[in-house]
Chains A and B, each alone.
Chain A
């Protein structure tokens, strides 16, 4: 065990004499003296693992008993279970209180059970025929609605994933835009997805909603989920474009622009994560491009090494700037 409270006593005098700063020191002292311990994070992990195991079991059950269990019974069971999970969240909403951690995960379980039911129904009854991927869009819309009704970031993540799956499948099959064109491969589809997500973040713009109070926390949370998804999908899209010979140079150009934009955004908003994405993904993209373009392995390695050293130097500089810009 180690106890940092002696240092915190010294910090108490040095910290700003504001209520917030002094409360932060007092809280830190309580934690260091081990007066209080939160097992919130341990429970998060346990609940996530439990839901994952449960859903895996249900998935296997469906797979192995597709013929034994009647489709009607199976669908009814899944939908009733999903409804029960949603009812738990609805109860909390009805009582006007925040959902507990467990209720949050029960809601997630409900969303996933609903996905399983819809997926099974589509597989069994071919409701959408040739356009079977539309059920993913239906799921995305449903989960999006549930996420907003219950203000659940977990369900929002499920909705965004379903949307990505629909866009990926739908566009590849060619029912939305020109079908099998190389310029609309994995990379551009991921970029399109990123655009949708980024557009979604504007519904929760800080300026229009304010950042204080419970509504502020809701908008901040949802906006961040959209933006995080957008950043990752955009970078993955550009990397995929670099991997495709037809879109290589366009991908490289988009990567550079994206890295600059995201990096500047990170600096402006003092968000280290965006700066890290810009440098990290940018470096991976450049090294990949070098390895694809240069034939000589030694030369590729040498230039790659210089790129990485440059990236580390840049990262250190940007982090210093971030730290210096702290209020």
Chain B
């Protein structure tokens, strides 16, 4: 059976249009993306929220039916497939929300029918549903979430060995192995950008999860040096790979692992909380400023200056800055606006405006 999805060449065309907004028109003219219509990331977010609201409304309509989750889930899956096959919608957010909710609803209904109190099985089943949605839609976020769910099911697995305390270490080991495997697999050439992104998702998320599982271990080892050693090992490995491949995902992973390492230092220090925060914040800021200065002139192809890549984070940071506390004891007013636009625009010369 042929499932409706972009071919390899169409997906690569979509990736070019997504990554280089200035080339969208040329991609359309050449027909590289076929008949598929993708959305900018802001449109995708709005579509996803609308999809979630729609799925919730459908659940409300079907609540009096027998097996509402199963019927609703199947309806959502069919509707999402219809959208993909007939409207040639891909990564619009809407069909993704429908697929995710549909697959999860069916899995939850199955769990209700099985009537199990095995938390590990329940989590694994939901993870498989999310994995199915991720595989079908070539969505790296879903596949990463599903993998994280699967490691959670390892952590929750019932065992009498050491009162089940080793489960957290087993989950940490699984995460670390997955991260290492994805890091290695990311070195080969992949035709579909989405497959590469799926590996990137694992490279980014798994080290953080491994750290989380290690510090969740109830034994003494968690309070000592293992979390710090693990996160530092990941910082070194991912930075080396990111720098040698000149790729963003390992560097993002390194950033997260550096945050984990700082957290480990935070836990090791016996100082009052505020001094720990001040020292760690100052260290991180100094390191970032130093790095920025060092790489102002390109070194080995790496620079801290922005180049003409879509920089959707610019306005997001503007909004995020407004969330910082203005003063202790100052009453909070209305929340600041998340000044975020779709990517690919002309705002401020380097930001994103969503302008086509």
Residues in A lying within 8 Å of B, measured CB to CB: 1-4, 7-8, 10-11, 14-16, 20-21, 24-25, 27-28, 31, 34-64, 100-102, 105-106, 108-109, 112, 115-120, 122-123, 133, 135-136, 139, 153-154, 156-158, 160-162, 164-169, 186, 189-190, 193, 217, 220-221, 224-225, 228-229, 231-233, 236, 269-274, 276, 279-280, 283-284, 287, 297-298, 300-302, 304-305, 308-309, 311-312, 315-316, 319, 322-323, 325-326
The answer for the CA separation of A51 and B25 in the assembled complex, in Å, is: 40
Asked if B356 and A272 sit within 8 Å, CB to CB, the answer is yes
Task: Find chain B residues with CB under 8 A from A169 CB.
Answer: 331, 333
Tell whether B284 is near chain A: CB-to-CB under 8 Å: yes
Q: Which of B11-43 contact A (CB under 8 A)?
A: 12-13, 15-16, 19-20, 22-23, 25-27, 29-30, 32, 39-40, 42-43
Residues in B lying within 8 Å of A, measured CB to CB: 9, 12-13, 15-16, 19-20, 22-23, 25-27, 29-30, 32, 39-40, 42-43, 46-47, 49-51, 53-54, 56-61, 63-64, 87, 89, 92, 94, 186-193, 196, 245-248, 251-252, 255, 258-259, 272-282, 284-285, 287-289, 291-293, 295-296, 298, 301-309, 311, 313-315, 317-322, 324-342, 345-349, 351, 353-356
Asked if B353 and A56 sit within 8 Å, CB to CB, the answer is no
Main secondary structure of the interface of A (DSSP, over half): helix
Asked if A42 and B255 sit within 8 Å, CB to CB, the answer is yes
Asked if B321 and A57 sit within 8 Å, CB to CB, the answer is no
Asked if A217 and B349 sit within 8 Å, CB to CB, the answer is yes
Asked if B289 and A153 sit within 8 Å, CB to CB, the answer is no
Task: Find chain B residues with CB under 8 A from A3 CB.
Answer: 189
Q: How far is the CB of A87 from chain B (nearest CB, A)?
A: 15
Name A108's closest neighbour in chain B (CB-CB): B321
The answer for the CA separation of A48 and B323 in the assembled complex, in Å, is: 11
Asked if A50 and B326 sit within 8 Å, CB to CB, the answer is no
Task: Find chain B residues with CB under 8 A from A224 CB.
Answer: 315, 339, 341, 347-348, 351, 353
The answer for the CA separation of A135 and B60 in the assembled complex, in Å, is: 48
Task: Find chain B residues with CB under 8 A from A58 CB.
Answer: 274, 278
Name B285's closest neighbour in chain A (CB-CB): A50
Task: Find chain A residues with CB under 8 A from B304 CB.
Answer: 38-40, 43, 101
Asked if B46 and A279 sit within 8 Å, CB to CB, the answer is yes
Asked if A228 and B307 sit within 8 Å, CB to CB, the answer is no
The answer for the CA separation of A160 and B332 in the assembled complex, in Å, is: 13
A21, A52, A162, A322: the one within 8 Å of B326 (CB): A162
The answer for the CA separation of A100 and B320 in the assembled complex, in Å, is: 19
Task: Find chain A residues with CB under 8 A from B274 CB.
Answer: 57-58, 60-61, 64
The answer for the CA separation of A232 and B143 in the assembled complex, in Å, is: 32
Asked if A276 and B43 sit within 8 Å, CB to CB, the answer is yes
The answer for the CA separation of A16 and B289 in the assembled complex, in Å, is: 40
A42, A158, A300, A309: the one within 8 Å of B60 (CB): A300
Known contacts being A41-B313, A45-B255, A279-B46, is A225 close to B339, with CB within 8 Å?
yes
The answer for the CA separation of A45 and B251 in the assembled complex, in Å, is: 12
Task: Find chain A residues with CB under 8 A from B340 CB.
Answer: 228, 273
Most buried by A among B12, B26, B187, B279: B26
Task: Find chain B residues with CB under 8 A from A35 CB.
Answer: 246, 301
Task: Find chain A residues with CB under 8 A from B285 CB.
Answer: 47, 50-51, 54, 105, 109
Asked if A34 and B322 sit within 8 Å, CB to CB, the answer is no
A62, A108, A139, A323: the one within 8 Å of B356 (CB): A323
Most buried by B among A37, A225, A308: A37
Asked if A46 and B252 sit within 8 Å, CB to CB, the answer is no
The answer for the CA separation of A67 and B347 in the assembled complex, in Å, is: 47
Name A287's closest neighbour in chain B (CB-CB): B53
Task: Find chain B residues with CB under 8 A from A46 CB.
Answer: 255, 258, 284, 287-288
